[in-house]
Structure 1
Amino acid sequence: MLNIFRRAIRTGVVTTGYPDTPEPAPPAYRGQVHLHLAACTGDAACARVCPSAAISVEHSPVGGWTWTLDDRRCVFCGLCSEACPTGALSLSNEYELAARKPEDLLTRVTFRAGGTAR
């Protein structure tokens, strides 16, 4: 028992200052999905490959589409970013995804017929 205390005293503090000083994510970390608005064409390749159905693309009869990401369902596999032909999706290194309300974990973007986001 005394050896344990000696070792602890020699080691010193090993905890980090989180959350005051956030730790960076590891280099290969797959975090929250980000949509690059200017590159999205609404072809729904991302929605077709998503294993958890976290992404949906709904086309409007008058033109345009709505892209939706539900972070509650996302498993951060990266298949959506690999499938996107225009590179409109990427995985960030964001790991603090807690929210007070479930709807805060939804990302919904509506595009007009010309491809501009509103």
Structure 2
Amino acid sequence: MRGPVLPESARGTQLLCCVALCLLGAGPVGAEVIQTPQHLIQGRGGKAVLKCHPIPGHISVSWYQQAPGQGLRFLVEYYNEQQRDKGDMPGRFSAQQFGNYSSQLDLSSLELGDSALYLCASS
């Protein structure tokens, strides 16, 4: 038995309701930045929490966003638990750095335009 057949326009709308967030996750081998989760799909209006563990000894963490077909977009940088620089980060996003220098990027009220690759760098 098949489910209800939706008109073309309704199917397209259903597909647009998901926001995909991708992260480059490095494994625990060697001195690398580790991001979690590696992949995440959330619905429009939802929220996401992205975490970054810097290379040991690094106290600066930066977050970037790369939308499909676009260059890197700087979001924010933290140094020694203090925000040092802020780029073009939407008000729906917030970030923080903890005492162990790990960082968290919180995304709320997700929109279709938030579908992107999110990168964390440390120095």
TM-score range with shorter-chain normalisation? 0.3 to 0.5
Output the TM-score relative to the length of structure 2.
0.32
Look at both structures and tell me which one has the larger radius of gyration over its CA atoms.
1
Which structure carries more helix by proportion? Answer: 1
Which structure carries more strand by proportion? Answer: 2
